[in-house]
Structure 1
Amino acid sequence: MDLIGQALDLSCTILTFEPLPNKIKKLRRLGQNLEDRVSDITTTLDNEEDSSSQRRSVVNTWLANADTTTATIQQTCDEFEAMPWFAIHRLALMWREVSELMTLVQELIDGSAFPEGLTIKIINRHRPLPALKEPFGHMFEMQKRNVLDYLRDDNVSKIGICGMGGIGKTTLAKHIHNQLQSNRDISVFWVQVSMNFSISKLQGDIARKLNLSLVEEDDQQNRAAQLLAVLNRKKSVLFLDDVWEFFPLEDVGVLAGSNGCKVILISRQKNVCRIMHCEKIIELEPLSKEEGRQLFRANLWGRLPPQFEDFADLVADECAGLPLGIIVAAKSIIVDREHVWRNFLKNMTESRAIKDMDEKVFDVLKQSYDMLQDSKLQQCLLYCSLYPDDFEIEKEALIGNFIDEGLIDRMENRHTQINEGLTLLRSLEDACLLMGGKRKFGKEYVKMHYLVRDMAIKITTVNPRFLVKARKGLAEVPKDDEWDENLLRTSLMSNTILTIPSTASPRCPRLETLLLSENFTLDSVSSSFFGQMEGLKVLDLSDTSITNLPASVSNLKSLISLLLRRCWRLKDVLPLANLKTLERLDLFKAGITEFPRSMEELVELRYLNLDTRHLKLIHSGVLSKLTRLQYLVVHEFVSYASQLKGEEIAFLKELETFKGEFGSVDDMNAYVRSRGQGGTHEYFIHVVESGTRYVNSLLQDSVDVFNKAVSLSYCTISGRGDREQHLLLPGDIELLDMKKCNNVTCLCHVAKFGVTVRLKKYVVDWCMKVKHVICCSVDSPVFDYLESLSLQRLKALQGLTEAFTIQNDIFSRLKEFEIFGCPKIKSLFTPLLFSNLRNLESLKVNSCENLVEVIEHSAVGDDNNQEARNAIYALPKLRVLELVDLPEFESLGDKRQSIIYGSLECAKIQKCPKLRRISLSPSPKKIEVEEKWWDSLELDQPNMKDALQTLCEFIKEQPSSSSA
């Protein structure tokens, strides 16, 4: 009954007073009046605002309210237009809402006079933020220019500046902020976000910078709308400093990119910049050594006496390019007191407490540590402090240690654990607590900044307890009283310890990790040393000179990981039967000659590396009992041992990484059949049926790039008659290397024995019967995905193809082609095959004594086929062209067959006496030729020769070796 009564009351109101359509018309007129007033005020503000005046807070508030009200008017009118006539109750409610809205609009119009004016005179409106008077470093200036360039780019609306604490992010941003303030066309605002922020607090902070009052507005969305309205009135740059976590800028009221509004985020978390969709991210790095020294001297109190300059450089170097650390250290020293210099340097090198450094540097860095949301991330960071200063820690080895230490949970397979480890390290890199890098052939590493490591070591003096004396020049292990019963991990790596005597027997029942690696002089360890370490889980004796393992190692019942890498003097490993919990045994390049005894009893073993030169025999039946093995390497490159049996490896159903050698194609086939459709994530398999295996450096380098490789040496891989004895190749193979497999006549025949559609690299060497790479009788996808083809010393090779007609996509993905020492081949490519080489980046031809041309001339057609003979070919991606020792070579695109090189960087032509005319269009960046040959050369464009000569590097003439 109450609802019916309300409806009747509202209906009476509508019938008694002015009709709603009339009120809507009046509301529209009032709204237009309000918009006109807003336009007038905005125009006046644009004319009045300058460096000495700014708009009044009440004006900003009025404009924000006007914008919100205008939007409400439009929404109300749209709703009325769409409302059905029979919605009497809603019409009645709207009549009342429109009346209230008209009153509000009229109040806004009446309040727009502003008798005191729109602006107020101020002093130093653009007050610069305090920053370094002069920035230091080439990188600082370069990054500053980059940010300013991004601000001018219309496609960039959000810029992230990230880096570790104290690296200079805020300093860089302040310099940019102060420089932008001189531009009248841009409004510049600086807001501190910090750790414990909220959307509401941030809105209030931004509003105060905009002279906008939000006191009476509690609704977050309405506050955001008012902020957005003000920010959109003029081009603006909003600096948000000290951002620790993601939040939607739109929820705050900041719409980057709208009407020229740009945002600069300053954060220690690279991932925060990424998640907040910064189009450009600037990551600051430490200063160079020289720049760090300059900054240190510039911040010393007083003039530096010449006799202390070396001390100053040493102290500055200890800060490892971190500007905050350098400045604080400089301010903490009395420059003319030698004992102060010596004591300060000693405390820094030994990670001892220095008051100002602790308060102003380590506390800053510890903030980043405390903000790590996962305790495992904190433990992984602390673990990295076990390594020496500036140590490049290989990610693969580090993640292996994380797995051993339990810092990565047990998962369905090791591959998943490794991915989890990579994610953890990426998170620490994103937090700018670790620095990442990459070595040759893609080996990735991380390392800790000196002061971050120092911070971590300070944490581990309390909980968890570490003893870290890595690379401290120790000649002996610490005394027993330096070992704490509560120690969790100890690192004595990279010292010069000679021996560990029987008098050393520290009591460390909770010790789980002991790193003694890279003590190259350590030749003996007393058995008593491990006697009171019953909880030890990880023992690393790699890169030491020990000749045997102490007997007490066999009593370490909790041992999970035993690392003996490159212990080249270690000849024997004691029986390991007692180590029932052992999961990882690494004997890479150890000196052992016999297989470790009782290995078959290590039923928990998951990781076994036996890649050692001198191991003579692996007992049959042992490996097949280690059914939990996930990682097995036996002689990756150089072997003096008996070969493995395929059936034995086939028992290892959990194997994910396998590198080893089979003695026959049958063993290889047994292994491939056991893989089924799945199998190992990574493998490198040698098959050597006879003779001595020869592994060249090219193959070793390639294995670092490709994770799934097979090498065949002295193998009979076809023509056996029995189908089951044909060679089987894994379906996901990426690299295939064939050497001295002398019964193969055509390389595509190999594809008969496996679907190798993923093959990326094919290396063929000394296969004496190979006449063609591709024969007309085979329609195979083996070359469809090939990226690199290397043909070496193929004495019978006549051509790449046996017929002119081939598949359209053959070699279409080829990036590298190399041919060496093939005396019978006269031309490289048919026209059709050459036209497929659109992705070729490197073409190297060497020592092919009868090679005449690149494109087969006779294949072009007879003289009457003018169109074919005048063909133009393109190698748009070719960067490297090498033609060396080709005594009969004549044609590299003649007058009728032009070749256009789109990206050529280097052309090397040597010992090609019959090559008299070439076309290099467009010209390469570098040309390596013999000077005498160059002088006799004819170019298709003669006037280009002088211009190209400036690019020439003349090489010394050498005698031909193609006939050797």
Structure 2
Amino acid sequence: MVDVLHKSGTVAIIATVSGCVTVVINLISAPCIRETVTKRYHFFKKRRERLEVLESKWNDLGRRLYEVKRESKGKVVLKSFKNSEWLETAEKLMKDADPLHFREQISDINHFYEAPKCFSQYNAGKEIEDFIGQLDAVHNEGKDFLLVDQSVVVGRLRGSSRTRLLGEAENKIEEIKGYVTGNDFQTIRVHGMPGSGKTEIVSAVNDSILKDYRACTMASSSPSTLPIPGNSPKDHFDKVIWVTVEHEGTESSIDNLQNKIAEQLKIDLKTAGESRADTLANELNELTFLIILDNMQNDFPLKLIGIPVPTKENGCKIIIVSRSLPLCPDIRIGTYVKIRPLPSEEAQTLFEIEAGIELSKLREDTRANAKKMIDEWECLPFTIIWLAQTLKELKNNGGSHVDHVLAWNATFDMLKESPDILDGMNEKAFNILKDNYNALKEETKKCFLYCALYPSGHLIEKKELVEYWFWEGLINGNERSRLIEDMGQAKKIFYELVRAHLVEEVDSPQDQQGLPAVKGKHRMIKMRNLARKMAVHLTNPGQLLIKAGEKLPHAQLHLQQEKYLSRVERASLMTNNIRAIMEQPNFSNLSTLLLQNNPIIHLHENFFCNMPNLIVLDLSQTNISTLPQSASYLKKLTALLLRNCPNLKALPSLENFEELLLLDLSDTPITKLPDGMEKLTKLIRLNLSRTCVGEFRAEVVHALVSLEEVLMITNDDSVTGSLLKGASNIEKLGFLSRLAILQAKFPDAEAFNSYVVSKTHHLYKLKVYLGDVSCTHETKIHKNSILFIKSDSHVKGQPVTLPGETYELHLQPHLDHLKLIHISDCENLVYLFRIEMLQSLPKLKKISIRRRQVNNHNKANEPKELVLVDPLELNKTEYEGKMKGNNPDQEQTIWSFPELKMEIITSHQPNPSFSTSSVSKRMMNRNSSFDHKGVFLQSTTQLTPHHISNLQTAMSSPQSKLDKDIGAAAL
């Protein structure tokens, strides 16, 4: 037994000795045989001590890595700077040299039998020593990247925004990026409502371009600069500069803008020997740049800032981001990108993401309420995010509902019962539009606030709104001018409001139903929901009483405190279900009262007694039969609108309405003018269209000295009566010196001629229906036009004298016996009738146009777009005729009229496809100008003033006196 133990101990001793020998041999015969045994032993012996050094060096490099990252954060630099390579190397080394790896490898050797571990301990010690050296080297290299010089920065990443970019926004990003990297446009303007996500979208474009550059520079074969497709002399952007424009007055704003650009270019404008703008321009001229000007609201010329105009040759680009559409006067915008509010579905998706709740899981009424709020807040990303976060906060503070869905339902229920919370939310949302409102002119602000009188979402006719502004004196100050002139002034106001995104232009309902809409001719506007709420909020408390479009069955004025009513300046109860108003309200400061579009039958007899300052009263589209006698108290009234009141039979005397500017009785069955008309010496417009007024006394005409507009289209035939009576009454209109617009219906040529020869005014707009007065259809015709309705039975061969301002003649169908149209010396006439009309003129044989001899000084005004053969020759020559188009695909006959002896060809240039076989050689010979002019018509269906801009100078010499204006049309 002892012997056995002795043998075992011997074996252990031998094994231990053998292990030590092995360690010694391994230390001596290690791979790096050039290292001394002492050094190898040092790796083994000092391994634990060197691990502490490694940990210290590793921490030092970690701190430097953080500092370099912080300095480089968001910066995309030139490839030559190589900070990206250092960052990549440092991050890899930090991972490989992590001290935790070696703590697991290093251990103590306490027994002889652990001697085989000595070699692994040596290897760990050697690795630690190697990593210490690498950490030192990389740490020292990092000094060069602690400060990133602006000269090596291409641009800065904007980083992800809080706004989620969905659907349409992603498409806009690609669209704008395509414009930047393409070669078609040098200047891109991105515009849209505040809060619509413009900055976020352009930020994404900025980042995408810089990330593409970074990806290129990190590729081994990439160029050192940012590629731009196209034929630019350079193939890169040297600089991508983002500047947010501050608005502190023009001079300080430009200085601030220049400083921000100079900072990114690393130039000192204070020490510049030349002007600040020239210094910037000289530096930028050496670069191919992309400059993004965010929040650009004022009209700053680029030259004043110091930004060179981008061109295809210099390869530079500019993106201008703005709420509205200001113009930089020294550059031409290449393309516009409008950022619209989100579509309703995308807006709801964004709300769900931000709120963390699916709308489909909410109660039906809660879901409907949420969708309504999203829509009312214009589906703007900014407002939706804020709405979601606010509601989420209310939900979290609102109770102890465990169920997520129940908590959201309870939150919306709480809003219904807490209008103050909702008002506070609305007020914050208003702030995104407030800057736009504050930038408006004072006059425009007043007109904007007036729009709030209409119901939410209401389509407002521009013309109607402008007239309200005029009647109340909001435009042109307190001085009354011609309404026509103020229409031009109103266009500027609409432009400002649309530009500020407070209202939007929309097509009329007719256009929306598919009828042709003229581009740029939007006749209606709609006030944005958020803007309307803001307008009401901005108005002094109690100044407005707005109950429009609320389906009210009663006016409920008795529910209002009398003190409150006395402060009201404008009241709107339009578009409700009010049938009677039996109150006698104390509206002592009221200036506007809008009651239209209500089934009102009766007003209290004293309804108007306490409205001494009322200026505008609109009772249109109501069922009243008359006005109460208390209306006589309205001595300051300037506008009385009673149009389309089907039961209106009579009115009380208007003798107290001496300030009245407008009296509109159109589309009513009223049979006579009210008493007291002679007192309306300031009346500007009298609208009797489609009424049954049977008398228009001469003394009334003489009294209306300020009258600018008389509208009496398609009235009953008793308006002008017999030939003699008609001439007598209508003739008096000719002496109204301020008359500018006349829309009337004459029964015959004698009545019309009598007016023309007596008129002392120059008409701005003329619409005359001449013919069968039993026809009540009002055809749409342009200004300065005359419509002949069954005129053959009323003209009877008698010449019709046209005012010199006539631009168009229209012939209604059924002129079965018309044989001759003869027009002479009608200088301004540019429209006869549609070509299709010829099919309704089976007996027409000749159209004759004459003019006087053109004076030498007037030859420069010869027609450039229209020649009806030769106006002097046409009536003398008869030819077989056809009309052809200038399009080769339209060579077929447009119309062929067997008895018409004339030739008309449509073309901008002589048509090479036109066959001369259909043209008489005699015509070619006699009309020497045919070869180079032909007959120039832009349309094969219509001759219009828009198409034929110069014909008015071709028919006669320039008009000077009235008797020289007048031409004759014999039918």
**Contact persistence 2:362–2:409 (CA under 8 A):** no
**Contact persistence 2:786–2:808 (CA under 8 A):** yes
Give the equivalent residue in structure 2 for 1:389. Answer: 456
> Paired residue for 2:504, among 435, 456, 462?
435
The alpha carbon displacement at 1:588 in A equals: 1.8
Give the equivalent residue in structure 1 for 2:264. Answer: 209
Taking the TM superposition and a 5 Å limit, the aligned residue runs for 1:60-71 are none
Q: Does 2:294 match 1:294? A: no
The alpha carbon displacement at 1:384 in A equals: 0.8
Give the equivalent residue in structure 1 for 2:135. Answer: none
Give the equivalent residue in structure 2 for 1:551. Answer: 629
Give the equivalent residue in structure 2 for 1:460. Answer: 539
Residues 190-224 of structure 1 show CA distances to partners (whole Å, capped at 9, x for unaligned) of 2111321522221112222334444545x7x5333
Q: 2: CA distance between counterparts of 1:687 and 1:351?
A: 62
Q: 2: CA distance between counterparts of 1:817 and 1:657?
A: 42
Give the equivalent residue in structure 1 for 2:203. Answer: 174
Q: Does 2:338 match 1:283? A: yes
Q: CA distance change for structure 1 residues 810 and 50 in 2, over 3 Å: closer, same or farther? A: farther
**Contact persistence 2:190–2:198 (CA under 8 A):** yes
Residues 703-723 of structure 1 show CA distances to partners (whole Å, capped at 9, x for unaligned) of 2x4453343543578886xxx
Instruction: Give the AA of the match of 2:750.
Output: D
Instruction: Give the AA of the match of 1:735.
Output: E
Instruction: Give the AA of the match of 2:735.
Output: F
Residues 473-512 of structure 1 show CA distances to partners (whole Å, capped at 9, x for unaligned) of 22222334354322221111111112101xx222221111
Give the equivalent residue in structure 2 for 1:161. Answer: 190
Q: 1: CA distance between counterparts of 2:486 and 2:759?
A: 21
**Contact persistence 1:785–1:811 (CA under 8 A):** no
Q: CA distance change for structure 1 residues 477 and 778 in 2, over 3 Å: closer, same or farther? A: closer
Secondary structure of the 2:635 match is coil
Instruction: Give the AA of the match of 1:366.
Output: K
Q: 2: CA distance between counterparts of 1:148 and 1:742?
A: 63
Q: 1: CA distance between counterparts of 2:145 and 2:752?
A: 94
Give the equivalent residue in structure 2 for 1:136. Answer: 166
Secondary structure of the 1:487 match is coil
Give the equivalent residue in structure 2 for 1:375. Answer: 442
The alpha carbon displacement at 1:655 in A equals: 1.0
Give the equivalent residue in structure 2 for 1:314. Answer: 372
Q: Does 2:526 match 1:494? A: no
Q: CA distance change for structure 1 residues 525 and 343 in 2, over 3 Å: closer, same or farther? A: farther
Instruction: Give the AA of the match of 1:172.
Output: I
Give the equivalent residue in structure 2 for 1:711. Answer: 788
Q: CA distance change for structure 1 residues 817 and 803 in 2, over 3 Å: closer, same or farther? A: farther
Q: Does 2:298 match 1:245? A: yes
> Paired residue for 1:623, among 698, 701, 704?
701
Q: CA distance change for structure 1 residues 668 and 303 in 2, over 3 Å: closer, same or farther? A: closer
Q: CA distance change for structure 1 residues 330 and 780 in 2, over 3 Å: closer, same or farther? A: farther
Aligned residues: 719
Instruction: Give the AA of the match of 2:649.
Output: K
The alpha carbon displacement at 1:443 in A equals: 5.6
Instruction: Give the AA of the match of 1:834.
Output: I
Q: CA distance change for structure 1 residues 498 and 744 in 2, over 3 Å: closer, same or farther? A: closer
Give the equivalent residue in structure 1 for 2:322. Answer: 267
Q: Does 2:739 match 1:681? A: no
Residues 296-316 of structure 1 show CA distances to partners (whole Å, capped at 9, x for unaligned) of 222214455332433322222
The alpha carbon displacement at 1:50 in A equals: 6.5
Residues 648-672 of structure 1 show CA distances to partners (whole Å, capped at 9, x for unaligned) of 1102111111101123323322333
The alpha carbon displacement at 1:778 in A equals: 8.7
Q: 2: CA distance between counterparts of 1:861 and 1:564?
A: 63
Give the equivalent residue in structure 1 for 2:752. Answer: 668
Give the equivalent residue in structure 2 for 1:194. Answer: 246
Residues 257-298 of structure 1 show CA distances to partners (whole Å, capped at 9, x for unaligned) of 163332222222313467864332333333332232222222
Taking the TM superposition and a 5 Å limit, the aligned residue runs for 1:623-772 are 623-636=701-714, 641-643=719-721, 645-675=729-759, 679-688=762-771, 691-694=772-775, 700-701=779-780, 703=781, 705-715=782-792, 726-739=799-812, 744-747=818-821, 749=822, 751-752=823-824, 754-759=826-831, 761=833, 770-772=843-845
Taking the TM superposition and a 5 Å limit, the aligned residue runs for 1:814-853 are 825-826=897-898, 833-834=904-905, 836=907
Residues 613-647 of structure 1 show CA distances to partners (whole Å, capped at 9, x for unaligned) of 43344345423421211111013477664455331
Q: 2: CA distance between counterparts of 1:124 and 1:777?
A: 72
Greater mean alpha carbon deviation, residues 633-642 or residues 726-735:
633-642
The alpha carbon displacement at 1:174 in A equals: 1.7
More helix by share: 2
Secondary structure of the 2:569 match is strand
**Contact persistence 1:485–1:510 (CA under 8 A):** yes
TM-score normalised over the length of structure 2: 0.66
Higher normalized contact order (CA 8 Å, seq sep 6+, divided by chain length): 2
Q: 1: CA distance between counterparts of 2:286 and 2:306?
A: 13
Secondary structure of the 1:530 match is coil
Q: 2: CA distance between counterparts of 1:585 and 1:116?
A: 79
**Contact persistence 1:434–1:446 (CA under 8 A):** yes
Q: 1: CA distance between counterparts of 2:447 and 2:793?
A: 50
TM-score normalised over the length of structure 1: 0.66
Give the equivalent residue in structure 1 for 2:219. Answer: none
Q: 1: CA distance between counterparts of 2:917 and 2:718?
A: 50
Residues 77-126 of structure 1 show CA distances to partners (whole Å, capped at 9, x for unaligned) of xxxxxxxxxxxxxxxxxxxxxxxxxxxxxxxxxxxxx9999968999974
Instruction: Give the AA of the match of 2:788.
Output: S
The alpha carbon displacement at 1:807 in A equals: 13
Instruction: Give the AA of the match of 1:405.
Output: E
Q: CA distance change for structure 1 residues 662 and 630 in 2, over 3 Å: closer, same or farther? A: same
The alpha carbon displacement at 1:135 in A equals: 1.7
Give the equivalent residue in structure 1 for 2:411. Answer: 340
Q: 2: CA distance between counterparts of 1:788 and 1:542?
A: 48
Q: CA distance change for structure 1 residues 679 and 273 in 2, over 3 Å: closer, same or farther? A: same
Q: Which runs of 5+ in 1 are unaligned?
A: 1-44, 55-113, 790-799, 841-853, 863-870, 883-964
Q: 2: CA distance between counterparts of 1:634 and 1:351?
A: 52
Give the equivalent residue in structure 2 for 1:505. Answer: 584
Instruction: Give the AA of the match of 2:786.
Output: A
Secondary structure of the 1:299 match is helix
Instruction: Give the AA of the match of 2:247.
Output: M
**Contact persistence 1:715–1:741 (CA under 8 A):** yes
The alpha carbon displacement at 1:603 in A equals: 1.3
Q: CA distance change for structure 1 residues 777 and 133 in 2, over 3 Å: closer, same or farther? A: closer
Q: 2: CA distance between counterparts of 1:731 and 1:587?
A: 30
Instruction: Give the AA of the match of 2:325.
Output: K
Q: 2: CA distance between counterparts of 1:50 and 1:761?
A: 76
Q: CA distance change for structure 1 residues 424 and 199 in 2, over 3 Å: closer, same or farther? A: same
**Contact persistence 2:671–2:693 (CA under 8 A):** yes
Q: 2: CA distance between counterparts of 1:460 and 1:776?
A: 61
Q: 2: CA distance between counterparts of 1:120 and 1:271?
A: 31
**Contact persistence 2:616–2:639 (CA under 8 A):** yes
Q: CA distance change for structure 1 residues 315 and 342 in 2, over 3 Å: closer, same or farther? A: farther
Q: Percent identity?
A: 24
Q: 1: CA distance between counterparts of 2:676 and 2:244?
A: 64
Instruction: Give the AA of the match of 1:397.
Output: E
Q: 1: CA distance between counterparts of 2:378 and 2:462?
A: 22
Secondary structure of the 1:539 match is strand
> Paired residue for 2:610, among 507, 528, 532?
532
> Paired residue for 1:474, among 541, 549, 552?
552
**Contact persistence 1:732–1:756 (CA under 8 A):** yes
Q: 1: CA distance between counterparts of 2:801 and 2:862?
A: 17
Instruction: Give the AA of the match of 1:454.
Output: K
The alpha carbon displacement at 1:225 in A equals: 3.2
Q: CA distance change for structure 1 residues 827 and 49 in 2, over 3 Å: closer, same or farther? A: farther
Q: Does 2:384 match 1:355? A: no
Give the equivalent residue in structure 2 for 1:896. Answer: none
Residues 789-847 of structure 1 show CA distances to partners (whole Å, capped at 9, x for unaligned) of 9xxxxxxxxxx99846799999999xx99999x9x9349897x633657699xxxxxxx
